[in-house]
Structure formats: C-alpha cells, structure tokens
Amino acid sequence: PRPQKICLASGSKRMISLLIPTIDRPDFLRRYLLFLKIEGFEGEVIIGDSSQKSLYKELEIFIKKNKFDFEVIQKAYPNMQHFEVIRELLPLIKFEYSMYICDDDFLIPSTLIKCKEFLDENHDYSGVGGYNLIVSLNENQNILDLNEYPIKNYEMQSAKERLSALSNNYDVVAYGLFRTKDFIKRWPLENLQEREIAIEIHPCFALVAQGKFKILDDLFVIRCDHERRILLPTLSVKLKGEYWDESVETSCRELGAILTREDGGELNQNINFARNCFDYLIHKGRIAEENSLQMESSSFLIRILSKLKQKLSFFRCLFNTKSTNAVLPLNKFSLEEEEIKSFKNFESLLVNNLGNSNI
C-alpha cells in the first residue's frame, strides 16, 4: 500500500521528478537519459524496471559509467505491470512537480520549466502540457513521418463539465506536468486491476476532475511510433476481461468523491455521473472500433496505398543524408529555434545510434 505521506524536497525551484516504467528496453532508456543530459534537465529520473535480469544489469552498468547532472534511480520490479510499478515509485518522489513518461518518448526540458511556471501561477489548474509530435520510425531508426498529436484544453469551470467533455471527445491528458500532491492521488486504487483503466483512463478522468488542464503553445514531447511499441488489446477484448467491471466501479467511486469535493452535490449522484461518462466513452470506443474493422475488411486499396506510402517514406529516408533526415517533415510545424534545436538533438541520437552501447 502507498504511504499516506510523501516528504518533498524544499528549495527545488527548477527540479522535477520523472517516473519511467520500463521492461526489456535498456537501449531506449540509454538514449533518453543522454537526451535529458544534452537538454540540461534538472531533477530526478526514477526508473521502475521490470526487465529480465541481464537487461536490468545492462542499464545499471550504463548509469554507473555515465555522469548526469540529475539523479538517476533504477529500481527492480520483476513481473509487475506498468501501473503497479508507478504505485511503487510514488514514495520515491522528491520534488513538488512530477509526471510519468514512457521509455520511448522524449520530453522537452525547456517546456517542462514553462509548465512548472504556469502551475506556480495558476492554482486552479491540475495539469499542463504542450503539443505532441508523433515520429514514425523504421527498424533502422530512420524517420519515416512526422505528425502532430492534438490535445485540447479543458478549462471549463466545473469538474463535471470537464469530465463530460473528456468522455465525449477523449484525449490522453495524462501526459503533462502535475503537482505531486495531486499526481499521487490518481494512483491509489488497489482494486483497479484492468490495465487500460489503471494506466490511462482513470488518471485522465481524475486529472480533469481535480482541476483545469492547459496545453501550452510549445513542443512538450516527441512520441515515437516504432515496431517495438507495447500495444493494448482492443476494446472488445478489454470488455470481456475479468477485471473490467470491478475496475470501472472502483474508478467511478473515486471520481464521485472528487466531483463531490470539487463541485458539491450528493456522492451517489456524482458516482452515477462518473458511470455515465464511462458508458459514453465505451460507446464511442465501440463505434470507433467498428469503423476501423469495416475499413480494414472492406478497403484493400487503402491498405495497399498505406504500404506503398511506407515504402516511399523508407526510400526517401534511405537516400537522404543523415543531417537532413527530418528537415522536410519539420517544415510542417511552426517550431521556435529552441524547439528545433531540441528536435535536432533527438534526431542526432537516432542517426548516430547513440545510446546503443553501455559506454
């Protein structure tokens, strides 16, 4: 069980805690730690590692051999799921602001500082992020494509309005910077065992119920789409899972308590409101899944064109020089000079294969 109180470090003006659950991907963590070092990150990186022993040791050696201007903590959690690892990491957080990040995504530290400053000045906001770029990579880490992953603001005055808006048009708002005192309250549920609810849906719902959410006009994270992604099962499979119904009820009871605290009203009515939000989210998810299956089964031409696009993207990258791999895709976005520099640092780690050794 999570301790009731977490002691935070004082005098940590720029310090931020990053929680990273990982399994069997030490190469991803090596590259990401190097990126944070290049970008001048200040704070702590707490790695919850569920890897097999040899791969855990591989990352451990890398951390010991390299000097970082931030603290790197690696803890072993064999046979644990993503959300179980995060629960274990919560008591290790030292700083007032924190978030979790996947091991294959790259946060921009300069934007993290802007997010921290925003939360310092806006106490009715429970979280803040920026815009996300999705980078499609092939097996050789060449950049095939680059697209923006849009996320909306949730700035309605009431918790119910924000929760309703999120369930009607779902965004993964859990990728943002948060006050640690709020962040740890999104992962307290020992009966929450359905993976996607525990990892994503409940933290997102709880976030907008706790307070407003803002997207800054700054590059916040570079998210990587690659062949080694860990994919969640389809919605139809999840709904048949043994933990789904219990996890929904557990989440709704917690959300009902948050709504009662934030908006007032009767607890049972607020729990029912949360249930309705879940029902609508599931309804929209089923429609999206059915449309996706229909497209997949009926449109052979679309699949052929998609594969052709991938091949053309591959050959475009093959004949590009290393230094210009992502110049054309970057032109689609209005990036500031500092953001372009960060992207180039990310690209350099890919192109030069940095992080793929223990040195």
pLDDT in tens, 319-333: 333 433 444 456 667
Q: What average pLDDT score do residues 240-247 get? A: 79
Confidence of residue 149 (pLDDT cuts 50, 70, 90): confident
| Torsion sign over Cα 267, 272, 273, 274 | positive
Count of other CB atoms within 10 angstroms of residue 295: 11
Task: Report whether pLDDT(213) > 90.
Answer: yes
As given in the structure block, the two tokens for residue 290 are 């059915």
Look up residue 107 and give its amino acid. L
| Torsion sign over Cα 214, 217, 219, 222 | positive
Task: Report whether pLDDT(341) > 50.
Answer: yes
The burial of 242, by beta-carbon neighbours within 10 Å (0-12 exposed, 13-18 middle, 19 or more buried), is given as: exposed
Confidence of residue 9 (pLDDT cuts 50, 70, 90): low
Look up residue 16 and give its amino acid. I
Q: Are 65 and 358 in contact (CB under 8 A)?
A: yes
CA angle 121, 167, 239 (to 5 degrees): 130
CA-atom Rg of the chain in angstroms: 21
Question: What pLDDT sits at residue 227?
Answer: 56
Q: Are 24 and 12 in contact (CB under 8 A)?
A: no
The predicted model scores a pTM of 0.81
Helix or strand or coil: residue 206?
Answer: helix
As given in the structure block, the two tokens for residue 128 are 């803040």
Q: Which of 135, 127, 254 is nearest to 189 (CA)?
A: 254
Report the alpha-carbon distance of residue 240 to residue 34 in Å, rounded.
41
Question: What pLDDT sits at residue 184?
Answer: 92
Report the alpha-carbon distance of residue 34 to residue 346 in Å, rounded.
9
Q: For residue range 10-56, what is the model confidence (pLDDT) as tens digits?
A: 545 568 999 999 998 898 899 999 999 999 999 999 999 999 999 99
